[in-house]
């Protein structure tokens, strides 16, 4: 029983680590450029204001996209450490708490990034914001990939939390199966 738990937890952690690492790497390496009306548009995940004009850094110079990369990187780092520690029962209790914190961090970052990405993809005609994906499709594909990986990571952490909590709380359960 304890062995099954260890294996399930390990597999979930491995999946979460893979997903967060993918999200970080794919988001950091995302860039694309396009020429429209002889103006060169560039899209990159981070902003560098000193770059040659005219450049349009789209969406991605925002605080939120940097927050996404930082959050996914923190989750990757934690995930890697957790992979090696998860069989040690002395830190298991601390990890239940850390898992909840990391899950909230991931949920927060993916929601913010999705909200921005939706505007980037569809625009908002009511507010006069134009969609930008037609101009920089390669960049958008990269960001979409990173967001899918981040979404998978958030779901895996939710499952991991529910599983650990149920296992941890089971001995307290007033009704024994």
Q: Which residues bind a second copy (CB under 8 A)?
A: 47, 56-59, 61-64, 89-90, 93, 96-97, 100-101, 103-104, 107-116, 118-120, 124, 126-130, 132, 158, 161-162, 165-166, 168-169, 172-174
Question: From the centroid of its chain, how far is CA 62?
Answer: 16
Per-residue DSSP letter, 125:
G
Between 12 and 58, CB nearer to a second copy = 58
Tokens 């597999």 belong to 11
The H or E element that residue 43 is part of is strand 39-44
Nearer to a second copy, 70 or 114 (CB): 114
Distance CA 26, CA 105 (A): 19
Cβ atoms of 46 and 60 closer than 8 Å: yes
Of 10 and 163, the one with the shorter C-beta distance to a second copy is: 163
- For the CB of residue 63, give the shortest distance to a second copy in the complex, in Å: 7
CB of 171 to a second copy, least distance (A): 9
């Amino acid at each position: 029983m304890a062995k099954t738990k260890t294996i399930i937890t390990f597999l979930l952690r491995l999946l979460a680590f893979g997903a967060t690492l993918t999200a970080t790497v794919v988001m950091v390496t995302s860039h694309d450029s396009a020429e429209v009306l002889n103006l060169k548009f560039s899209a990159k995940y981070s902003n560098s204001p000193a770059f040659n004009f005219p450049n349009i850094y789209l969406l991605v110079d925002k605080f939120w996209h940097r927050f996404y990369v930082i959050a996914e990187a923190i989750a990757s780092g934690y995930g890697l450490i957790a992979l090696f520690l998860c069989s040690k029962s002395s830190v298991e209790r601390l990890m239940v708490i850390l898992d909840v914190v990391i899950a909230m961090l991931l949920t927060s970052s993916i929601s913010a990034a999705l909200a921005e990405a939706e505007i980037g993809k569809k625009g908002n005609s009511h507010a006069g914001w134009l969609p930008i994906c037609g101009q920089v499709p390669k960049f958008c594909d990269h960001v979409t990939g990173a967001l899918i990986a981040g979404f998978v990571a958030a779901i895996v952490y939710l499952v991991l939390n529910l599983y650990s909590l149920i296992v941890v709380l089971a001995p307290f359960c007033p009704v024994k199966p």
